[in-house]
């Protein structure tokens, strides 16, 4: 299928609204709501030596694609979060283009993606799958598996990050659904993020 780059329409979605949900729980250790603190990273906490679980404080994992931090990839940082975690884990992503397909699995709630304030457009998680691409079994990915970033878990939040799918096409072309951000978890908050793609950019 041919497409002409001059016909490409780039859809930019700014999600400046946010949703904050509360629910009560008998477990006092679990904070079942999202607060502004959850998208703030204490600079002192980001030093390598401090990026461990610090009992009641949230944990910070630092991602720098150039090395020198806890992980060079966003997925690498997610993989460091224990399954069934009950504490907030902030993944602090330094500016750069992270060319990777990222999934936050259902069993890892309370994750934050935090970019540098003012660096939203320079902190990009980017991939280029589309619905008609095949998986390793030769089956079409379909729209929902085309997502560059997939959030399956609850209590996710993000700020100062761009989510991108770089597939270019004429809007409406079949098989060209190319999701930048898919979220299936409950109770998420997005503040100052950019979601960039050409078809089915945001799927929730």
CA-angle at 160, arms to 19 and 195, nearest 5°: 70
Query: What is the nearest approach in angstroms of ligand NAG to the Cβ of residue 81?
Result: 11
Query: What is the nearest approach in angstroms of ligand NAG to the Cβ of residue 67?
Result: 29
**Residue 98 CB contacts under 8 Å (≥ 6 apart), including other chains:** 63, 65, 73, 74, 124, 125, 126
By beta-carbon proximity to ligand NAG, the closer residue of 56 and 137 is 56
By beta-carbon proximity to ligand NAG, the closer residue of 4 and 56 is 56
By beta-carbon proximity to ligand NAG, the closer residue of 2 and 83 is 83
By beta-carbon proximity to ligand NAG, the closer residue of 74 and 81 is 81
> CB of 45 within 8 A of CB of 60?
yes
Residue 140 pairs in a beta bridge with 134
Query: What is the nearest approach in angstroms of ligand NAG to the Cβ of residue 83?
Result: 4
Query: What is the nearest approach in angstroms of ligand NAG to the Cβ of residue 36?
Result: 20
Residue 161 pairs in a beta bridge with 193
Query: What is the nearest approach in angstroms of ligand NAG to the Cβ of residue 78?
Result: 15
**Residue 89 CB contacts under 8 Å (≥ 6 apart), including other chains:** 58, 59, 60, 61, 81, 108, 110, 111, 112
By beta-carbon proximity to ligand NAG, the closer residue of 9 and 54 is 54
> CB of 69 within 8 A of CB of 62?
yes
Exposed/middle/buried for residue 52 (C-beta within 10 Å: 0-12, 13-18, 19+): exposed
Instruction: Summarize as ranges the residues that interact with ligand NAG (CB under 6 A).
Output: 28-29, 55-56, 83-84, 107
């Amino acid at each position: 299928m041919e497409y002409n780059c001059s016909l490409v329409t780039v859809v930019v979605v700014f999600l400046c609204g946010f949703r904050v949900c509360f629910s009560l729980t008998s477990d006092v250790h679990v904070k079942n709501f999202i607060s502004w603190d959850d998208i703030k990273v204490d600079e002192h906490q980001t030093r390598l030596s401090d990026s461990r679980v610090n009992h009641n404080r949230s944990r910070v994992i630092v991602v720098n694609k150039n090395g020198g931090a806890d992980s060079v990839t966003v997925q690498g940082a997610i993989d460091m979060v224990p399954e069934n975690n009950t504490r907030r884990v902030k993944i602090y992503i330094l500016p750069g283009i992270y060319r990777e397909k990222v999934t936050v699995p259902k069993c890892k709630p309370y994750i934050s993606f935090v970019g540098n304030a003012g660096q939203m457009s320079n902190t990009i998680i980017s991939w280029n799958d589309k619905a008609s691409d095949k998986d390793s079994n030769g089956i079409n990915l379909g729209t929902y598996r085309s997502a560059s970033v997939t959030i399956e878990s609850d209590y996710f939040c993000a700020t100062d990050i761009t989510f991108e799918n770089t597939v270019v096409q004429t809007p409406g072309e079949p098989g060209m659904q190319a999701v930048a951000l898919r979220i299936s978890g409950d109770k998420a908050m997005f503040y100052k993020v950019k979601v960039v793609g050409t078809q089915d950019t945001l799927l929730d």
